[in-house]
Structure 1
């Protein structure tokens, strides 16, 4: 496994603002094809976890390929779902941090989905969990 995944300058800037630490559970919305998830996994290992949620089946398949080693190691998971209908699976613990990059519900492309998307993320995270949109802390 490459310990330092190559990131675009935009994703490197996002990674730099995230308060990562070992053991953190991170929910990445719209993370396909997975380069940021790999980098986040490196920051939360050995006991953390990153779940990439993307609405695209093609994108989730690409993420599964790109993150195969991290998935095998139990550091990354992938789920195909629109953010506005995302829900934790039975028994799945909530996430400590959430982030979204270039997600239509938050960047103005799909404003009607924003309220449902925020509700879904709030339900899937611990109380007070930080949520970053395009590298900025959402308040």
Structure 2
């Protein structure tokens, strides 16, 4: 939630969607993000990265950022392959995915 709030505060007229598989994490982010949610710059959704899909009418995103996502950091290879496909499908053709583990973030290639 903290990173999503920071990005939402700097995005101008853009929109940030924060997802997490944990209902508790989403509830905590929602409680701490009322201003950003109220402004329309931030929304939250409970879903695992490997199950994520854009909703009907939802526009693709330009950038995805993942922090401590086991499916994308190599801990769960099969879930990682599914998550990369799902993230790629939710991004614009020029969209990029960044994950923690770099300095400060590492770009993860979506198409091997």
Q: Shared topology, TM-score over 0.5?
A: yes
Partner of 2:8: 41
SS at match of 1:120: helix
- Choose between structure 1 and 2: higher strand proportion: 2
Aligned pairs for 1:21-100 within 5 A: 34-45=1-12, 47-100=13-66
| 1:136 pairs with 2:78 | no
Query: Structure 2: 5+ residue runs without aligned partners?
Result: none
Superposition RMSD on alpha carbons, in Å? 0.9
How many pairs were matched up?
A: 105
The Cα offsets for residues 4-49 of structure 1, whole Å up to 9 and x where unpaired, read as xxxxxxxxxxxxxxxxxxxxxxxxxxxxxx111111011102x111
Considering Cα pairs closer than 8 Å and 6+ residues apart, tell me whether 1 or 2 has the greater RCO.
1
Q: Distance in 1 between matches of 2:80 and 2:4?
A: 23
| 1:113 pairs with 2:79 | yes
Per-residue deviation at 1:138? 1.5
TM normalised by structure 1 equals 0.73
SS at match of 1:77: strand
Q: Distance in 2 between matches of 1:111 and 1:104?
A: 9
Q: Distance in 1 between matches of 2:84 and 2:61?
A: 14
Query: Structure 1: 5+ residue runs without aligned partners?
Result: 1-33
Per-residue deviation at 1:65? 0.7
Structure 1 segments of 4+ aligned residues over 3 angstroms from their partners: none
